[in-house]
Structure 1
């Protein structure tokens, strides 16, 4: 019985692959003119969304770019989007529920997205249907995914004539083992996999038995921000991000108890929202930190809030290539961060453009913040170092690396020699940034 089942599955796979090859033979020539970027929820708030919007705006100078949002749960995007970039929604959950099939399938769990994907609960059988139909409708151009579930769906469903690029915004090692196993065997079908950090790139190089045609690291770029540089005389520290345990805001609040005791005239503002928000509010009340720690909620104007601060604190347990660190550097704000093994460790040179603190050590985090508060010369020196570092992540620099990748992938399909690759920026230590 098992042998028969295996043979049936193998036959079905061969039929599916044969059908794909026949469709691919009839497809238009390979092209990078049209780029589609899959995103879970374009109207939400988060670093991945801002990063994708930033990249899409840059690519729109030379390409026809469309962001395809799986969900629509808010009326319009929280962050500004370049008007040249089109936006569509596959599952508009604000629309009237008049379709019986949609109503039925929306109550059923996803079969396309792995259960260990962190956003699994956001997908349904209806989103499976809409996503699969969209991917299968493409016969040329570029399709990008921005999270494991979407990358895996692309690897399964995209026609061979479509250039597929997976982006990873979260480190491989923090993903559940079952998800890592799927990644190891399916990501080889992608044309390219892009990581944000060198450490994550090495993890994928070591983990994947067979790699995509291109496995590269391209960091985030600094998004455009309004206003001026921080003056560094405001007695304000800021932290930003989704309020989850991973962001470590509970540790930051405990550390601020020591900071507030030493410098009661300083204020900590934590911007964001999420499932831990009420818990954090209660923690602030229990610690007697009302008025000293504020939770102002979400903000679309990150630059304006950084401009009013002197210190940016990163307290995450794990962090990819943090966009808020780049934004703080570009605004001339001094940075104190836990020394997470991927993003912060690669982005910050200790004592040059920020202070790195042993992870999950509230006493050390408090001591580092107090040191920056009390040493004005250090505060200005770190801020100046951050401004220099931020120049290496200007959107024009990072964008050209994306263009080089697209040219290379197209050349592999057309056998046309691509332009010379863009060199990686060099850090103060002499190694690639």
Structure 2
């Protein structure tokens, strides 16, 4: 079968890009003809490894375009496209030129499967991809996280898809309520699990993700500071880069934690860092499916997490393979960290259960679900919803 994945920026960083690269590689390994289409390109090479059998093409090459922020904002106001609603998290990328390039590309297709990977691309595909193409929309976040203008457009146009694929049961229920006549299938992201388990000997709490408001590190820092008062040997290591770095550094100093909380920057050896840690903390305000959390679980790390929408509660069973506390409850997160930091046997028990849970997200479990879905869609038979029902 011929499968095309449409990404905003295949040369960037992020969980969606890594997930799509993994999916594309798995489909190519199964013998399918696979192509990744990058709407824009701002780097010379992809940041993630990709199967050599997968071709990458670009619609708008922006490697030579360097604009100051203020100029970029003026260009957006003057030349913004018309299909992507303001409030879509990447709306500023969709100038008239970029939007037209996407419209021209999808309008010119006449066969195979087109998988689009964010609301902006989904909305364009729903309105412009010919019906002779199998159209699949992925949601790598969750419906409730989008601003109202985006949800309104989703409700208006997503019913045109052959299938909408989501990551969690919670998001599946929300989409089914919104789109009762559209197949909404749950297929979680596959996670490549390391075979290097945590030794549970180093007093380190670890977390990883973009330094942005969504990840809630401004909540994790005071939570850790409170728990650390009772556990003087422990450290918190935050891996990632992003616009909130200076703010978080100031917050660390405000809590007088400069010697115990470290902003580590990006790393290409996260599996080693997880193996050196004893607890994984997830402090997000919202998630899609927290892949790094599942990777940490696969290495036997117990998790202390906010029960944010969505993701953690769709993966974790409280007190079995992780500890969940109410969303944005700094005191609750501090208490959960305190429990784990002070009880190695608890960490070992929860970590062992977490490693078993993570096996449900291994590629050999998840990737056949994608091939089965594509085969069903190509047969043009009604979807039998057996995907990820256990």
What range describes the TM-score normalised by the shorter chain of this pair?
A: over 0.9
2:261 matched to which residue of 1?
Answer: 293
The answer to whether the 8 A contact 1:337-1:355 is kept is yes
Q: Matches of 1:183 and 1:96 in 2, distance apart?
A: 31
Structure 1 position 87 matched with structure 2 position 66: no
Aligned match for 2:304, one of 336, 347, 355: 336
Q: Matches of 2:223 and 2:314 in 1, distance apart?
A: 24
In structure 1, the gaps of 5 or more residues are 1-32, 98-102, 426-431
Aligned match for 2:197, one of 209, 226, 229: 229
User: Equivalences for 1:343-358 in 2 at 5 Å?
Assistant: 343-358=311-326
User: Equivalences for 1:381-400 in 2 at 5 Å?
Assistant: 381-400=349-368
1:429 matched to which residue of 2?
Answer: none
The answer to whether the 8 A contact 2:125-2:135 is kept is yes
The answer to whether the 8 A contact 1:136-1:158 is kept is yes
Structure 1 position 322 matched with structure 2 position 293: no
Question: Does 361-370 or 42-51 show the bigger shift?
Answer: 42-51
The answer to whether the 8 A contact 2:204-2:279 is kept is yes
2:235 matched to which residue of 1?
Answer: 267
Q: Which structure is larger by alpha-carbon Rg, 1 or 2?
A: 1
TM-score for both structures, normalised by structure 2 = 0.92
2:120 matched to which residue of 1?
Answer: 149
Aligned match for 1:211, one of 150, 158, 181: 181
Aligned match for 1:165, one of 120, 136, 140: 136
Superposition deviation, residue 238 in structure 1 = 0.9
Superposition deviation, residue 423 in structure 1 = 6.0
The answer to whether the 8 A contact 1:79-1:300 is kept is no
The answer to whether the 8 A contact 2:185-2:387 is kept is no
SS in 2 for 1:351: coil
Superposition deviation, residue 96 in structure 1 = 6.9
1:112 matched to which residue of 2?
Answer: 83
2:26 matched to which residue of 1?
Answer: 58
Structure 1 position 44 matched with structure 2 position 44: no
2:279 matched to which residue of 1?
Answer: 311
Cα offsets for 1:238-294 (capped at 9, x unmatched): 111111212110000011111222222211111112221111111112221112111
Cα offsets for 1:206-235 (capped at 9, x unmatched): 122x533x211111111254x611111111
SS in 1 for 2:211: coil
Structure 1 position 133 matched with structure 2 position 97: no
The answer to whether the 8 A contact 1:187-1:211 is kept is no
Aligned match for 2:156, one of 152, 163, 185: 185
Superposition deviation, residue 341 in structure 1 = 3.9
User: Equivalences for 1:191-202 in 2 at 5 Å?
Assistant: 191-202=162-173
The answer to whether the 8 A contact 1:259-1:366 is kept is yes
Structure 1 position 75 matched with structure 2 position 44: yes
SS in 1 for 2:379: helix
Superposition deviation, residue 301 in structure 1 = 3.1
The answer to whether the 8 A contact 1:234-1:310 is kept is yes
Structure 1 position 249 matched with structure 2 position 217: yes
Change (3 A) 1:379 1:96: closer
Pairwise CA RMSD of aligned residues?
2.2
2:208 matched to which residue of 1?
Answer: 240
2:69 matched to which residue of 1?
Answer: none
Q: Matches of 1:184 and 1:91 in 2, distance apart?
A: 29
In structure 2, the gaps of 5 or more residues are 67-71
